[in-house]
Amino acid sequence: MTRTVEDMASFDSTVRHACAVAVSDEHLWELSSAFLSAGLAAGDQVKYFDDGTSDRVLERMFDDGVDIDASLASGQLEVVPPEATRAAILTPIDVMRGLVDELIEDALAEGYSGVRWTGQLSHALNRPAGMLDYELMLDAAVAGRPARVLCLYDRAHYPDDVIEDMRRGHRVEIETTTVYDDNLLRITSTGIGSARLAGEVDHSNRPQVRKLLLAELDRALRSPTGPHEIRLDVSSLRFIDVAGAVGLVHAAEEFPSSHKLVLDGVRPRVARVLDRCGAPFASQLMTIPRPDRPIPSTAGADE
């Protein structure tokens, strides 16, 4: 059974344990953030089991408008450190089942509506008995309880045969709709005349951005209720080359006078390139800066 990413907001009463297969790093951060952010909004106690990926997940949550500082400070959001994540994964199944039960009960006792867990769990490949017994335990532990677990798999960390085994081992798989993803730039549609760009724009994918703009402008012009702004959420766009920036400026200048191109959430590095390529002088291009607010990340995500 497959579900869309929108179902991750709450799942229904019968879905507590699902998997998702990310096609790229940006897809992985998108899935992680959507699931964790929905848990925070629902009043769940949220845990991300880290193994070297939490910086990017927190960065994406920040891009998605989550108050990371408040969530971490209150304890509603916890990043489980890599050493603890790896130790938990290698814990015997019967002991782990007891820990899962305890975590759920403790969260409810603290007043949370439930628990929500996901993370980078590829260390489970080192389990002598394999991963299936671990998944079966989780499935039984959360069945009918206020607990939601999303198991994430990607081809950078998991062999293809393991991914297919895990797909068969989960009754529910989360699927997402993608406009374009080349493992460097990910484009997703957010409605008529709007889309989101995450990752990097360079010579290899620059034509896809122009193709997107033309398609969204055409959709807006053809719709009686179409927007007069073509809006690109670029809060997760970390890099754009000079030619890509020039392409955005020129595309905006080619828009009909009735429409504007809006770049929402422009990061400082991207803004500098746009400014040098004439963005301030393009009357039909509007840029909105990304909030300049640090997030608790050891690597830093300002740029």
Which one, of 104, 121, 133, lies nearest residue 46 by Cα? 104
Give, as one character, the DSSP assignment of residue 291.
Answer: P
Strand partners, 289: 266
Distance CA 244, CA 201 (A): 7
Architecture of domain 2-175: 3-Layer(aba) Sandwich (3.40)
Q: Residues 6 or more apart from 288 whose CB is under 8 A from it? A: 262, 263, 264, 265, 266
> Where along the chain do its domains lie?
2-175, 180-289
Q: Decide: 189 and 195 in contact? Cβ < 8 Å.
A: yes
Using CB atoms within 10 Å of the CB of residue 50, give its burial: 0 to 12 exposed, 13 to 18 middle, 19+ buried: buried
The 10s digit of each residue's pLDDT in 64-117 is 999 999 999 999 999 999 999 999 999 999 999 999 999 999 999 999 999 999
The 10s digit of each residue's pLDDT in 183-200 is 999 999 999 999 999 999
For residue 131, what pLDDT is reported? 86
Sign of the Cα pseudo-torsion (250, 217, 186, 180, in order) = negative
- The beta-carbon contacts of 285-291 under 8 Å, at least 24 apart in sequence, are 285/248, 285/249, 285/252, 285/253, 285/260, 285/261, 286/229, 286/260, 286/261, 286/262, 287/262, 287/263, 288/262, 288/263, 288/264, 289/265, 290/63, 290/235, 290/265, 290/266
How much is the pTM? 0.92
Candidates 1.20.970.10, 1.20.1250.20, 3.40.50.150, 3.30.750.24; CATH matching 180-289? 3.30.750.24
> Mean pLDDT, 10 residues at a time, over the chain (303 residues)?
58 78 97 96 97 96 95 97 94 94 98 97 84 90 94 94 93 94 98 97 98 95 93 98 98 96 98 98 97 55 47
For residue 291, what pLDDT is reported? 87
For residue 66, what pLDDT is reported? 96
For residue 302, what pLDDT is reported? 47
SS3 286: strand
Strand partners, 192: none
